[in-house]
Amino acid sequence: MTFTTRFAPSPTGPLHLGHAYSALLAHDTARSKGGRFLLRIDDLDQSRARPHWEQQIYDDLTWLGIKWNGAVRRQSDHFPDYAETLETLRAAGLTFECKCTRRDIDNAASAPQEGVPEFGPDGRIYPGTCRERNLSRDDATCTRLNMVKASQSTSAHFTETGPAFTGTHVLSSRDLQTTIGDVVLARRNMAASYHLSVVLDDVATGVTHVIRGEDLFEATRIHVLLQNLLDLPTPSYHHHSLIRDDAGKRLAKRDDARAIAKYRADGATPADIRAMVGL
Ligand code: GLU
């Protein structure tokens, strides 16, 4: 299979040095392997996605010397596909409808138990309140994966080549239940969660290697579980270290000071950016 990787930014703010590193690393790796480098626009959250940020992504990447293969995939063009897969998971009895607000979840979880983590990749681990309630979709605000059922008899595993977590990672049912829990798969106003959409996008575009930041490592277990449940192939993963600011804090979207566009305006060259991120 042709080595295929991708860069998948959300058009919700300017790309900064951390994005430049991620994009250049994925791009250079694909080129060195004679493979494909794809660009995807993760504009799932339509309330935050903006056309001018999308345009800025194209401009910044082009300026950096990055060429992507084939057409750009935009998540907003695929909402019906996500909905269809959600139906498959519903029909398999692996989901439940939930109407808990964030406050409900905080309150239900307000007595932390010793040795049980409070937070997972999606924030506070869902306490299971609606799992047995059998709510109808009309009463619910989101659809969650029933992790108790979904994690049963899983044999899912993945290979990681990034610096912090190199090795083979096997998903255990207990870990999935205690450290991840019933994650959201879709919301009333959003066709799919990040987890469901990226799993489907990666398989639809033939991604064989996911190269992305270390901050997404924990979410990978959710993605690999979903691939397993949906009988989809699992790519290899490489979670790279994050570019941090001088205080050691990871860069955020609002870190406009480190936006690629800002460096460009200040006269930096693409080679300067490569040097700044250590490539
Ligand atoms: N869109 C995600 C982000 O900007 C990345 C998706 C992924 O690499 O899986 O953080």
pTM of the prediction?
Answer: 0.95
Residues of the chain with CATH 3.40.50.620: 1-77+244-279, 78-236
The whole-angstrom separation of Cα 242 and Cα 155 is 30
Q: For the residues 148-154, what does the mean pLDDT come to?
A: 90
Answer whether 26 contacts ligand 1 (Cβ < 6 A): no
**Does the domain at residues 78-236 carry the CATH identifier 3.20.20.70?**
no
Q: How far is the CA of 115 from the centre of ligand 1 (A)?
A: 30
Cβ(64)–Cβ(94) below 8 Å: no
Asked if residue 65 has pLDDT above 80, the reply is: yes
Q: Is 9 in the pocket of ligand 1 (CB under 6 A)?
A: yes
pLDDT of residue 256: 75
Say which residues have a Cβ less than 8 Å from residue 168's Cβ, sequence separation at least 6.
157, 158, 159, 160
Q: How many Å lie between the centroid of ligand 1 and the Cα of residue 113? A: 32
- Per CATH, the number for 1-77+244-279 is 3.40.50.620
> What is the predicted pLDDT for the residue at 254?
65
Note the pLDDT of residue 102: 92
Residue 245's pLDDT is: 80
CA–CA separation, 223 vs 202, rounded Å?
A: 10
Separation of 176 CA from ligand 1 center, angstroms?
21
pLDDT of residue 253: 64
pLDDT tens readout for residues 207-227: 999 999 999 999 999 999 999
Distances (CA, A) of 119 to 123, 164, 169, 218, 247: 5, 20, 20, 11, 25
Q: Which residue has the higher pLDDT, 33 or 258?
A: 33
Q: What is the pLDDT of residue 111?
A: 67
**pLDDT for residue 23 is more than 70:** yes
| Percent of the chain residues past pLDDT 90, beyond the cut | 87
